[in-house]
Amino acid sequence: MQGAGVSAERFDHFMARANAAYYANRKFGQDFITSPEITQVFGELLGAWAKIVWQMAGAPEDIILAEAGPGRGLLMEDALRVWPTRKVHFIETSPALRAEQASRVPYAQWHDNLASIPSGPMILLANEFLDTLPVRQFIRRESGWMERYVEHGAYVELPADYNLPDDPVGSVREVNEAALAFVRTLSARGAIGLFIDYGPSESAAGESVQAIRNCAYADPLTAPGEADLTAHVDFAALKRAVHAQGPIKQNHFLTALGLYQRSDRLAQRHPEKAMDLRLSVQRLTAPEAMGSLFKVLAVCPPGLPPLPGFE
Ligand code: SAH
């Protein structure tokens, strides 16, 4: 496993390439299901959250509502029902998913990254976006920290040029530089960002990269582009990098925003959906699953009172 040839690709570069290919093929939606796909109430609550945050910020008229990694566009479609803002900007790299998003929010504008979104007040939503961004992977050997590369479908290692804690031999550390850069850019422009993702609340050693292919766990290195590669989001690292509220558990956040009440009201209007709605709510809040494994972090300027759900 040691040593690497000239064709070795750093693991985060491999992951970025594999995911770009995966999302370009729009396999998304077939291999896993996300909260906005589970129930419309999820996006509606986030729309309500954004509206209240906008009011707390003095209701600037030129507010931009942005979303990073909008997938099929359901979250934004649902959010806009509650808060019909006109200036909608999407950060999305997959042409196929852009087309699908356009079918739901035709007047949106698309960007490859944050940099090209016009300046001005902005609220950004992101569900299961940071976990798809590429991580660097380091492994502690007797000789010190090594960094993982990929060559001919296998891991190889090179001495790491990176400052890491003194973990026991055999430990793995992951660093999501792309996620850190994203929240730093957002924070520097004074925007407010809501990030919902799978991850622990404390930074810890451990390998979290996983590949899902045809709805099953797969080897991350086999058939790049055929599997969705994700890594747990290190919320504590994000919080050390920028000013933020949280992270809190998804079930606390959604419950505080009125998940149960909104689902009940919807069930009363559509009794045929009542059973589905009850199951969806359970799925989003289950303490042993999505409810507590998913965390919510709000990147925001210092000095704001607690944002809705973070009280
Ligand atoms: N938020 C959606 C989709 C999550 S999947 C949901 O909850 O259902 C991840 C999304 O991020 C996809 O839309 C994917 O195309 C997009 N994405 C992945 N990497 C990206 C990158 N580097 N830049 C912009 N978008 C990216």
Q: What's the pLDDT score for residue 6?
A: 76
Residue 285 lies in a domain: no
Q: What's the pLDDT score for residue 203?
A: 86
Residue 310 lies in a domain: no
* 74 CA: nearest ligand 1 atom: 8
Cβ 19 vs Cβ 132: under 8 Å: yes
What is the DSSP code (8-state) at residue 205?
Answer: -
Residue 271 lies in a domain: no
Distance from C-alpha of 36 to C-alpha of 255, rounded to nearest angstrom:
16
Mean pLDDT, 10 residues at a time, the chain of 311 residues? 76 97 77 91 98 97 98 97 97 95 98 97 98 98 97 96 93 97 98 96 91 92 93 97 97 97 97 96 92 94 96 94
Give me the number of domains the chain comprises.
1
Residue 304 lies in a domain: no
Q: List ligand 1's pocket residues with C-beta within 6 A.
A: 19, 23, 28, 34, 36-37, 69-71, 75, 91-94, 97, 127-129, 132-133
Nearest to 70 by CA among 100, 47, 32, 48: 100
Cβ 147 vs Cβ 160: under 8 Å: yes
CA of 2 to the centre of ligand 1 (A): 33
The domain that contains 245 carries what CATH number?
Answer: 3.40.50.12710
Residue 219 lies in a domain: yes
Residue 268 lies in a domain: no
Distance from C-alpha of 108 to C-alpha of 75, rounded to nearest angstrom:
13
CA of 129 to the centre of ligand 1 (A): 5
Q: What's the pLDDT score for residue 26?
A: 66
Distance from C-alpha of 275 to C-alpha of 277, rounded to nearest angstrom:
5
**What's the token pair of residue 211?**
């590949």
CA count, 13 A, side-chain hemisphere, 22: 28
Nearest to 140 by CA among 110, 170, 160, 163: 170
Cβ 207 vs Cβ 200: under 8 Å: no
CA count, 13 A, side-chain hemisphere, 179: 31
Nearest Cα residue to atom 10 of ligand 1? 69
Nearest Cα residue to atom 13 of ligand 1? 71
Q: What's the pLDDT score for residue 215?
A: 86
Residue 132 lies in a domain: yes
- The amino acid at 6: V
CA of 131 to the centre of ligand 1 (A): 9
**pTM across the whole model:** 0.96
Angle at 269 between CA 265 and CA 270, to 5 degrees: 110
Q: What's the pLDDT score for residue 291?
A: 81
* 37 CA: nearest ligand 1 atom: 8
CB atoms within 10 A of CB 185: 16
* 228 CA: nearest ligand 1 atom: 5
CA of 19 to the centre of ligand 1 (A): 9
**What's the token pair of residue 84?**
């019909």
Residue 167 lies in a domain: yes
CA of 77 to the centre of ligand 1 (A): 16
Q: Give the domain extent around 220.
A: 9-258+294-299
CA of 20 to the centre of ligand 1 (A): 9
Q: What's the pLDDT score for residue 93?
A: 96
